[in-house]
Amino acid sequence: MKEIKVRDILGTNFTPEDIIVLKQMMDSHIDDDVVLDFENFEQVSCSFFATLLVNLFFKKGREHVLSHLKVKNLTNTEAFKRVAYGTSIYKN
């Protein structure tokens, strides 16, 4: 299992291009489980999760990725769930 502290990788002022580093780390470890730690983040947008996850879903399959991915210390879980499960499926 690989725990990734998102703030340590991306800092506080990141751009969508910065997410590439995080995507590469996830891609390398997703078969062995990945925990994304969002400690000290107030809001994480749906577009952040879409940028992070869509290619991985396409490459590995949504079910596979979600069975090996955990998030913690995420204050707005709805954004993650909307991307993870689809906006037409997820109802809060």
Q: What is the pLDDT of residues 64-87, one digit of tens each?
A: 999 999 999 999 898 999 999 886
* Backbone torsion region of residue 86, taken as left when φ is above 0, otherwise alpha when ψ lies between -120 and 50, otherwise beta: left
Contact between 59 and 31 under an 8 Å Cβ cutoff? The reply is: no
Give pLDDT tens digits for 31-74: 999 999 999 988 888 899 999 999 999 999 999 999 999 999 99
Rounded to two decimals, the pTM is 0.87
Please check the confidence at residue 91 and state whether its pLDDT lies above 80: no
Would you state the pLDDT for residue 86?
Answer: 82
